[in-house]
Amino acid sequence: EKHSELGQAFHFALMTFKELIFQTDVRRSVSTLDMARKGVINWMSGKALRDLNMLPGAERRNENSSKVNLTKPQSYTESTNENHDKSQKENPASLSPAPLKEAEGENTGSEVGAFEVEYIESEKLVNLDDVDGSITTLLTGLDSKDWVMVCGALNTVRRLSIFHKEAMLEILGNVISLIVKCLKNPRSAVCKTAAMTCKDIFEAYGDHVIDSMDPLLLQLLLKSSQDKRFVCEAAERALVAMTTSIPSTMLLAKVQPYLKHKNPRIRAKASMCFSRSVKQLGTEGIKTYGIDKLIQIGATQLSDQLPESREAARTLLLELQTVYEQFIVAEQTVESGPVETGAWELFCQSKLSPLSAQAVLRVTTKQGFLPVS
């Protein structure tokens, strides 16, 4: 029966298009085409209505429901949302699992994991119950492939540094080597915890770490300049602790090579460390180290690419100017009589090239100009 009805429809359409072919009047052809379209639509609508009337009551209701959903998708969406909300209220356990907390406590693109790392400030760390046991398993924990275990071992190092620094002194070199490895870890939680550990080690051991400084210093300079913000901040605090805890006479020689590093960001961080270390030298330390050597380093950094380097150089040069005018000039006055005005300008001119001397005077004097001869 269905085949017969489809055949009738096809025959009707075919006859209509045949009539179109033999029409010469364009307007009449358009009218005939429109008539054919309406005829096919009316025939199909009538057939659908007849089929619907022949359906049982339950199927007819489903059909009507389908029509409503197709013509009003918004109603379907609203109904679905209402059912979903109702289901959530009736059965909270059926909800999808909540997203895991970030491993780091800041929204900085840090890793998301099943464990939450707690960053404890140094003053809030508590003592260890089993010092000997902690020492025995320390190196294994630091070298573990389980990053959560590594973070735990790093916090153990921090506790030992604060409460039992003598107990870890014998293995300090090995511990620092593994901390360097932790600073290279791609997981930010490990990097930040390692940087916090460096701060506590510097404050506890001071010059005892000088022999293991080179790889550690490089990693801290890297992390403070080009990692995620909260890792940079932890590394920066470690560098500040380094410059205040390690004698400047030892540290300056370690930092100075990085003032010429090919990475401008590393140069900038190294310049800041160098400037802070020079300030820690004090007047006698600056005189011993050589103010003429320091002014040449400052003049070089004054023309560096990044503003951080230039600002660190300016701070260094102002410190050198203060020391020179207040103490060195005063000593010369006692020994050989009054010193002529402009002693700092003359000193810069005698130790630097004309352009470098002019750049130094620009940031250290009000006039800031020295004719180039």
Query: Has residue 366 got a pLDDT over 90?
Result: no
pLDDT band at 148 (very low <50, low <70, confident <90, very high): very high
The number of C-alpha atoms within 13 Å of 177 and in the hemisphere containing its C-beta is 8
Nearest to 231 by CA among 271, 182, 162, 264: 182
Query: Average pLDDT of the chain?
Result: 79
> Is the pTM of the predicted complex or chain greater than 0.85?
no
Q: First vs last Cα of the chain: how many Å apart?
A: 112
Is 352 exposed, middle or buried, given 0-12, 13-18 or 19+ CB atoms closer than 10 A? buried
The model's pLDDT over 270-322, given as tens digits with 9 standing for 90+, comes to 999 999 999 999 999 999 999 999 999 999 999 999 999 999 999 999 999 99
Cα four-point dihedral sign 226, 228, 229, 233: negative
Greatest mean pLDDT among 53-57, 89-93, 106-110, 256-260: 256-260
How many DSSP H helices and E strands does the chain contain? 18, 0
Distance (Å, rounded) from C-alpha 341 to C-alpha 344?
A: 9
Residue 270's pLDDT is what? 98
Nearest to 138 by CA among 114, 163, 167, 166: 167
Query: Has residue 54 got a pLDDT over 70?
Result: no
The model's pLDDT over 178-222, given as tens digits with 9 standing for 90+, comes to 999 999 999 999 999 999 999 999 999 999 999 999 999 999 999
Express as a percent the part of the chain with pLDDT over 90: 59
> Minimum mean pLDDT among 29-43, 324-338, 357-371: which range?
29-43
Give the Cβ contact number of residue 238 at 10 Å.
Answer: 26
Distance (Å, rounded) from C-alpha 124 to C-alpha 139?
A: 24
